[in-house]
Chains A and B, each alone.
Chain A
Amino acid sequence: MFKLKVDKTEHKILKERLAIVETPKYKYVITDDKTQVEEDKINIVFNHADIPKISSLLDLIVKGEELYITGYNEFGQKSVESRNFQYFIVDGDDLVGVLHDTRLIIRMKLYEVEELLQDKDFIRVSKYCIVNIGKIDYIRSALNSKLDLLMKNGDHCEVNRSYLKDFKTALML
């Protein structure tokens, strides 16, 4: 998504401090040298002193606008930023949003949530479940050619065979 165009000696340090992953299909050029701007890309020219600002700007670029989803549980109603959800799963007639420690019942259909989260690095892994890629801790390959996702809260989600291809595509940068 990014291309960092700086002095070679500073490249590694800046890359770490800005916490960026450079990709061949980059949209943004980040540089401290005006001459290195690229015409068909979004160019961010910065001074070294502005690194914290650039970093939060990058957060905004990558993570996008915050999106709050409202759900409720026995303690009442809550609005939670979408990136905090581990996954969404259909439980009987309810759609449940699973957080690290708690679960919220969401008054929406699964496909509505899916549409809502389409730019937010969530991925449908089965007919009943949408997973937050950022909350996957480890992917296990099961013997029945399914995938078992270990989430950061310790829960397991299964990637169904028919969603396998989409899941792998979603992991590509």
Chain B
Amino acid sequence: MLFLINNPTLLIVSLVVIGFMVVMIVKIYKEYDLNRLLRNKQSAMRIATPPTGMFKRIGALAGAALAPALVVVVALTLSSATTLQPSGQLHAVNDGDDIIAIYNDFQDKMSSYQVFTGFWRNSVDEVTDGAPEGADDDYSGGDEGSDDYSETNTQVEGVDEMDNVITDGKYIYSIQYNAVLITLAYTQGGGVDVLDNYKTIEYVDDTTECPTGFYVTGLYADDDHLVVIGSQYEYYCEGSGGPEPAYEEDFYYYWYGYNNNVQIFVYDKNDDFALVSEYELTGDLIGTRKIGDDLYVITSEYLPLSEDDIDVDEYLPNFTIQGDTTTVDYQDIIYVDGTSPNSFTTFYGIDLATEDVDMEVLLGDNGYNLYVSHDNIYLVGNIYYFVPMADVLDFEEPVAETKTAIQKVSIDGNDVEYVTTGTVLGYTLNQFSMDEHDGYLRIATTTGWWGDDINNRVFILDEDLEEVARIEGLGKPGETIRSVRFVGDYGYVVTFEQTDPFYVINLSDPENPFTEGELEIPGFSTYLQPLGADYMLGIGFGDSQGGTDGLKISIYDISDKTNPVVFAEDIFDYSEFGWGWSSATYNHKDILVDLGKGIIALPFQTSIWSSTTGYRYTSGILVYDFNEITGLTQEGFITHEQAAEEDVYVYKIKFIDQYFYTVSNKYIKASLISDPETIVNEVALPGYEDVYDTQID
């Protein structure tokens, strides 16, 4: 009924149709009754009454009565079939007018529906050019670094994910005030003693000495390259030639404008971080991955097609390498019938060694959760096609439910090629909701937001993203998925509302998945990470009273898939008036796990209130030793400053050789893995004044 209330046009049409049907039914009844009386009368008059076409006539009347309802049903069914989900049919695009035609056609189809799309839409704005500048530093470098160092904690081994702090065994690269700090951390000759600031890559305009407006998003490093990825914003400062700030005189510097581009700077590590390549890609950054020398970047650009004077040419995705711009041909744009043509989603494949760039452009819904295997990119987003009458007519598959659209793009080197688009019911939690195994995509989704409407499912899709099998109804009523991890033939799903059922799903037969084991404990994990074949790390919320007011680190023993048990756990209750928090609960890249060394480490910060000291803020890295015999043992809590005047936020831990390196907004500090809390060397990172010393008076 809610559908009809939300759709007054449909309500009026329905009332008219129902009214017409009532009139027709009354008419049919009256006619039948009168003719029945007539037959009886004529019979009583001893007049032979051969059968007339009464039933034929009544049949025709009944048909007429039902026809409008039938027409509405057929129209809805046909139109919903085209808009219910992407058809998979590719649609040729030849020029900008084609795109506008696609948009208009789509709007026509959807005109009787209320359509919601759940994507960010950023306005388009001009961007300024700015040349990056590598700082000249005479430091001559040092010996070789170590081969034993911690890499970014990624979802798929071998598929690197961008992060804000990385190490290559010799240097630690971090982001500070939109500059990239290169810190020499370790050499085989000097060990941890070499720890010092080595170089700062800042993004400053040569002429005006103003920051260029480049905002650093993340970093990659391999044997040859340091890759810096970010977006260019408009940035005005005194002397830049831009408009003067309209208010406070002494407010010289401020960020302005929207990013609608991705810039990538590639530095040669073997040539003292000289800038070797510079790429500029159009669109807002959705995500990146790196496999070997190949960097994959996905962007999205909103198309304001509803504007009358839009020139689609201006929005065509393009990339620029060292000043040379290549724009996508209209013929190469892919449009999948049934998707909302609201933006360009572009998949870039960049070979960092050869500077070769391949691009695949989709006109259609973009997404927000990115999963990349060694063979394919999966980008998923929600589609909310709200089709009236769906619940009234009781379609087999209720179309008002949220659906996840999956764009599949294959990767081979830097070649990127669109494969197909699929849909499943529900919305995904994060990148860990997806996993590719033996050609099958496993994807966990939740439908509904609260109450009994919630349904948690795991779908298994084949290479064409056609559903092979599914598991429905994971979790108790009202519970939503809080974390997922797929490992080989098994999937692990945590749902939560009151308690934390931890499900072990056997996916070894893709056509017959089943829940093999289940464990119910207080609290819930928001992140799961396998620790070898027999254990699973869970990081989330839980306290010692069975609630969720604390940080909870759990190790599940999953060696017996039918009977998962809690092997070890550590709980940090929030203090009575304070709080605790770990970025590891939502950012897997902040966690350090090394099974060989038995290390599990993650950032943790607390604010504790007491009547004498007031609130006291502490930030540090929790370091655990994990092994199968003693379980989880806290080895230490590494902090950078105790009772500091200003908050020092320790947010990352790496290791090189036998040392931990912890990174905060002020320091990088080193300590022995065997004795984490004792700092053996440290370096103060350049402050804002150091980075931008030429601009600050």
Interface residues of chain A, those whose CB is within 8 Å of chain B, are 1, 19-21, 23, 58-59, 62-63, 121, 133-134, 136-141, 143, 147, 168, 170-173
Contact = CB atoms under 8 A, between A and B. Distances in A.
Contact of B42 (A63, A134, A143): A134
B121 interface: no
12 contacts: A19-B43, A23-B44, A121-B45, A133-B45, A134-B42, A138-B35, A139-B31, A139-B35, A143-B27, A147-B34, A171-B34, A173-B41
B597 interface: no
Given A21-B40, A173-B40, A141 B34 contact: yes
For the side of the interface on B, what is the size category? 20 to 34
Mostly helix, strand, loop or mixed at chain B's interface?
A: helix
Given A121-B45, A141-B34, A171-B34, 11 more contacts: A63-B45, A121-B41, A133-B38, A133-B42, A133-B45, A134-B47, A138-B52, A138-B53, A147-B34, A171-B38, A173-B44
Contacts of A171: 34, 37-38, 40-41
A141 B46 contact: no
B31 A62 contact: no
Contacts of A134: 42, 45, 47
Contacts of B47: 134
Residue from B30, B42, B43 with most neighbouring chain A CB atoms (10 Å) = B42
Of residues B34, B52, B54, B57, which shows the largest number of chain A Cβ atoms within 10 Å of its Cβ?
B34
A141 B34 CA distance: 9
A137 B52 contact: yes
A138 B57 contact: yes
B129 to A, nearest CB: 74
Nearest to A23: B44
A172 B39 CA distance: 11
Contacts of A21: 40, 43-44
Contact of A62 (B35, B45, B54): B45
Contacts of A140: 31, 57
B48 to A, nearest CB: 8
Nearest to A145: B30
Contacts of B52: 137-138
Nearest to B24: A143
Nearest 6 A/B pairs, CB to CB: A171-B37, A21-B44, A139-B34, A141-B31, A134-B47, A141-B30
A147 B540 CA distance: 77
Contacts of A170: 41
Contacts of A141: 27, 30-31, 34
A173 B47 CA distance: 14
A9 B42 CA distance: 26
Interface in B45-93: 45-47, 52-54, 57
A171 B47 CA distance: 14
A63 B46 contact: yes
Contacts of A63: 45-46
B133 to A, nearest CB: 85
A135 B305 CA distance: 69
A171 B33 CA distance: 11
A173 B23 CA distance: 28
Contacts of A143: 23, 27
Contacts of B30: 141
Contacts of A1: 44
